[in-house]
């Protein structure tokens, strides 16, 4: 399915099932198909699942417009309006989680029922107030040092075979443009979402990979401590793509969190 944003960009998404909507976004350079096992699991448990390829990601239209996190949040808001969704659960990995924080920053959390953040520190620049930033990124070497993430292996455990095959099929004929998206990466790395997280009133679950290559897994508990109704879980034997590395454990965490009354 395709949705056209207010600035004329085509975004690819899937919309399956019924029940409480779960809107999913994945990380920088990612494809929505990395969530294949979560989509299947959520449908089995009676959820409606909207899985979005964010602007310039996956099979969505390449563009030089709106390469900033605020536009990522605006795209989510417009998709919710297009689909007439008044209440939803959110789940994002990496930059995908930050896109929902951008949404909340601009439009509030009134429609947000619950949210899962998968291995995303709310602040990526390490300083005296926050020791859980990206690699060795500091104000002294920002923004160029953020590109060191390109050379990092994101997983410590092989992703499950079904997801891998699904992902490879989706990637045929599509290639992420790192040069084009450099402004988006820099804007992402610049953000500090701690104040936004502290104002969100719904339950938040911060999931970290114990062996994340990008930041200390301690960021999850630190982020949960900022929030009014935060929880944190560190998943062992997982890197940055927790949901595809430890699928069974992640799906259990996901369903228990979303199902809890």
The answer to whether residues 67 and 160 touch, using CB atoms and an 8 Å cutoff, is no
Under 8 Å CB-to-CB from 90, ≥6 apart: which residues? 22, 23, 24, 100, 112, 114, 115, 116
Q: Residue 187's CB: how many other CB atoms inside 10 A? A: 18
Our measurement of the distance from residue 232's CA atom to the centroid of its chain's CA atoms, rounded to an integer in Å, reads 16
Domains identified in the chain and CATH numbers? 2-259 (3.40.50.1820)
Q: Residue 143's CB: how many other CB atoms inside 10 A? A: 16
- Taking the C-alpha atoms of residue 119 and residue 129, their distance in angstroms, rounded to an integer, is 19
Q: Mind listing the pLDDT tens digit for each residue in 99-155?
A: 999 999 999 999 999 999 999 999 999 999 999 999 999 999 999 999 999 999 999
Under 8 Å CB-to-CB from 124, ≥6 apart: which residues? 133, 134, 137, 146, 188, 189, 190, 191, 215
- Taking the C-alpha atoms of residue 153 and residue 214, their distance in angstroms, rounded to an integer, is 10
Q: Residue 217's CB: how many other CB atoms inside 10 A? A: 22
pLDDT in tens, the chain (261 residues): 999 999 999 999 999 999 999 999 999 999 999 999 999 999 999 999 999 999 999 999 999 999 999 999 999 999 999 999 999 999 999 999 999 999 999 999 999 999 999 999 999 999 999 999 999 999 999 999 999 999 999 999 999 899 999 999 999 999 999 999 999 999 999 999 999 999 999 999 999 999 999 999 999 999 999 999 999 999 999 999 999 999 999 999 999 999 998
- pTM of structure: 0.97
């Amino acid at each position: 399915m395709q949705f056209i944003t207010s600035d004329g960009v085509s975004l690819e998404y899937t919309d399956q099932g019924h029940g409480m909507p779960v809107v999913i976004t994945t990380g920088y350079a990612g494809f929505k198909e990395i969530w294949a096992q979560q989509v299947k699991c959520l449908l089995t448990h009676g959820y409606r699942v909207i899985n979005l390829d964010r602007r310039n990601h996956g099979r969505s239209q390449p563009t030089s417009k709106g390469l900033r996190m605020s536009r990522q949040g605006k795209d989510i808001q417009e998709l919710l309006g297009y689909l007439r969704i008044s209440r939803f659960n959110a789940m994002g990995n990496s930059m995908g989680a930050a896109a929902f924080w951008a949404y909340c920053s601009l439009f509030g959390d009134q429609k947000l029922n619950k949210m899962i953040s998968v291995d995303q520190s709310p602040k990526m620049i390490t300083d005296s107030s926050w020791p859980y930033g990206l690699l060795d990124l500091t104000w002294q070497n920002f923004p160029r040092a953020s590109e060191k993430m390109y050379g990092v292996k994101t997983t410590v455990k092989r992703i499950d075979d079904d997801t891998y095959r699904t992902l490879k099929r989706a990637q045929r004929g599509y290639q992420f443009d790192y040069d084009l998206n450099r402004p988006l990466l820099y804007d992402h790395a610049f953000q500090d979402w701690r104040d936004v997280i502290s104002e969100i009133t719904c339950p938040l679950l911060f999931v970290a990979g114990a062996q994340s290559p990008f930041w200390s897994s301690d960021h999850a508990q630190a982020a949960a401590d900022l929030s009014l109704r935060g929880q944190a879980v560190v998943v062992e034997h997982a890197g940055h793509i927790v949901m595809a590395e430890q699928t069974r454990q992640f799906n259990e965490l996901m369903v228990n969190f979303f199902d809890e009354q």
